[in-house]
Chain A
Amino acid sequence: MAKIEVVNVTKRFGKFTALKNINLEIKDNEFFVLFGPAGAGKTTLLNNVAGIQIPEEGLIRFNGEIMNRIDPAHRNVAMVFENYALYPNLTVYENIASPLRSPLYKKDNATINREVHRVAELLRIDHLLERLPSQISNGQKQRVAIGRALVRDPNVFLMDEPLAHLDAKLRHYMRSELKEMQSSFNTTCIYVTHDFLEAVSLGDRIAIINEGSIIQVGTREEVYYTPCNEFVAALVGEPEINLVDGRLFVDNGKYYVETLEKGYLLPLPESSGIVRKLVDSEVTEYHIGFRPNNIKYTFEKKDGLIRGTVYGFESIGNKAVLIAKVGEKYIRMIAPNDLKVKLDQAVYVELPIHKAIFFDAQTTNFIGTSDEAAIYRLVQEQLSKGVQ
């Protein structure tokens, strides 16, 4: 167990800068997710914490102690690799036992036997212990890799896209199982992923990283309800958030945004404080984000709703996504799986202005949200943290 600090870390590979001045503080016992697209530098950061790579600038600290010059073996970290990295010539049992046989963490045979069985039971692989890695499925390999990391008591538990190579079904299942096991990890975890669902499901806090820089660090609520810019908003949430152009419009002391079509006005909710935020920001051109699950639609003409046509209708498992074409803009909404629609039929869309996220059209930075429930939830979260 340890508090991990990453201070001003820069990592270069030749002319390419993989990490640009990264600062992070990961609390003791926290499950911390590094989330970003491919090539963002997530794995590099993890390798720097593990000691597999060493940063050109900056410090890595475990519990305040500088780790830069300590080799991986002596950092007492456990790691799960994307490609599992099991020893192909050793049985599952010996793979899991490997750390306990190393000179550094050497244990007697009875202890090894007990620990390996404990971990194997937790991971439900106790029936596979005599097999070789080539004789088990990918999902099982993944569990063995996790087992090898869990078998000892590391300072920090590093996981590099552990579910990325599993097929979709298994990935979802393993994610739930991982979540279930989380409480038994009992140590600080850093988890790298490019999958939004893994990030929000597992992470106590999530750091969103892109092109070697940290974009935002926050709880799932913070990054979902108050993303710091459009990049984060688009990355967090599936299907992706709808972003439409909007303009502030004042009439008789009432505040509106004009969006999608000229003259289509949505009254801004007074109580949420969003009017204040928008006015204070002195920005009048926005990109307004609407989450697909908040948008309502109907196929009957109704006043105040904007008309579009059905552009697509696609299943996403137990729900479906309805794509409406409004002007030149495509609006994605969540719909029930069994909805009967024809392509190009008319659909009337209601944009939920009381659940909108506003971004500066120039800088794409966050200005504010009109979602009162979200704000309430965030405040509550802050308060409960204060109590702890």
Chain B
Amino acid sequence: MKRKRIVSNAVKNGLLALYALFALFPLFWMVLISFKSDAQMFNTTFIFNPTLENYDAVLLRTDYFKYFIDSIIVSVIAVLISVLAGVPAAYALARYDFKKKENLAFTILSFRFAPEILVVLPLFMIYQKIGLYDTYFGLIWVYQLITMPLLIWVIRGYFEDISVEIEHAAQVDGYSWWQVFLKRLLPLIKPGLVSASLLAFIFAWNNFTFPLMLSGTYVETITVASLKYIASDTVHYGQMAVAATVSALPAVIFALLIQKHLVRGLSFGAVKG
């Protein structure tokens, strides 16, 4: 009995390790080559003379930080707007009965179904016409397609799990509707709100198609900017790797900070009590 369990555990752990290797290897490779000089790029694998010249080139001698800040501005504001608009929307979808409610909810979700490339061309034309092309506002606006559906669907589930009597109880206790919302409901949806916002942020941060097509000179996000290291004559893999590594940092840091809440927040309902 005991031996069986040890064997099965070993097999399980072995498989998990194999998968971890498979998943993490590209990241590892990326970090690795960010320390390689162009000369050693193709003739070394693991043993080489590490150099910071790529970091120096990218971080100090290009506008990399401007792109980084652009990305942060666009993604953070996009998520904030989604939270401000999405939480009330989720509440309405969870609590009120109105005509075509489910259709509306599905429509919101379906924004995530359509490939971005499908909408990006018409958007390009429209943005050109109405002057939103290459503006912060334009990008933040279009990012709502990515961030809003996710937030609404996660938070709606949380609201639905809170029994409506809890709201009634708080109202009877002497709280106005806004106070009920802020003091009683918000703490209960917090895990979902945090994890959904984080995920929305990562999706927005990683987006490539929209900034590629809808911005370019005045506003430029880091994903698009990474392309710059493909020069006309040669591809600077080392510099690209640096750009990619640094751009991955915020998401990694966030994820590590709230790792505990991430899976639970997305998979569990809100309250058991």
Direct contact between the two chains A and B in their complex (CB within 8 A): yes
Interface residues of B in 137-186 (CB under 8 A from A): 163, 165-166, 168-176, 179, 184
CB atoms of A81 and B168 under 8 A apart: yes
A19 and B163 CA atoms in complex are apart in Å by 23
CB atoms of B173 and A98 under 8 A apart: yes
CB atoms of B174 and A105 under 8 A apart: yes
Q: Is B273 an interface residue (CB 8 A)?
A: yes
Contacts of A148 in B (CB 8 A): 169, 173
Q: Is B271 an interface residue (CB 8 A)?
A: yes
Q: Is A99 an interface residue (CB 8 A)?
A: yes
Q: Is A139 an interface residue (CB 8 A)?
A: no
Q: Is A104 an interface residue (CB 8 A)?
A: yes
Contacts of A133 in B (CB 8 A): 273
Q: Is B187 an interface residue (CB 8 A)?
A: yes
Contacts of B184 in A (CB 8 A): 87
- Nearest opposing residue in chain B for A98, CB measure: B173
Interface residues of B in 225-273 (CB under 8 A from A): 271-273
Say which residue of A52, A103, A132 sits within 8 Å of B168 (CB atoms): A52
CB atoms of A50 and B170 under 8 A apart: no
Q: Is A17 an interface residue (CB 8 A)?
A: no
Interface residues of B in 67-111 (CB under 8 A from A): none
Most chain B beta carbons < 10 A, residue from A71, A72, A83, A133: A72
- Nearest opposing residue in chain A for B176, CB measure: A73
Say which residue of A50, A82, A103 sits within 8 Å of B172 (CB atoms): A50
CB atoms of A71 and B273 under 8 A apart: no
CB atoms of B174 and A85 under 8 A apart: no
Contacts of A98 in B (CB 8 A): 170, 173
Contacts of B163 in A (CB 8 A): 83, 85
Q: Is A79 an interface residue (CB 8 A)?
A: yes
Most chain A beta carbons < 10 A, residue from B170, B174, B272: B174
Q: Is A293 an interface residue (CB 8 A)?
A: no
CB atoms of B179 and A88 under 8 A apart: no
- Nearest opposing residue in chain B for A75, CB measure: B172
Total interface residues in chain B, CB < 8 Å? 19
Contacts of B174 in A (CB 8 A): 73, 99, 102-105
A113 and B81 CA atoms in complex are apart in Å by 41
CB atoms of B173 and A88 under 8 A apart: no
- Using known A-B contacts A50-B168, A85-B168, A87-B166, determine if residue A102 contacts B273 with beta carbons closer than 8 Å: no
Q: Is B120 an interface residue (CB 8 A)?
A: no
- Using known A-B contacts A103-B176, A105-B174, determine if residue A79 contacts B272 with beta carbons closer than 8 Å: no
A109 and B170 CA atoms in complex are apart in Å by 19
CB atoms of A73 and B171 under 8 A apart: yes
A133 and B176 CA atoms in complex are apart in Å by 24
Binary B-proximity of A60-103 (CB < 8 A = 1, otherwise 0)? 00000000000111000111011101111100000000110011
Contacts of A134 in B (CB 8 A): 272-273
CB atoms of A71 and B171 under 8 A apart: yes
Interface residues of A in 27-82 (CB under 8 A from B): 47, 50-52, 71-73, 77-79, 81-82
Contacts of A77 in B (CB 8 A): 172
Contacts of B168 in A (CB 8 A): 47, 50, 52, 72, 79, 81, 85
Q: Is B188 an interface residue (CB 8 A)?
A: yes
Q: Which residues of B contact A (CB under 8 A)?
A: 163, 165-166, 168-176, 179, 184, 187-188, 271-273
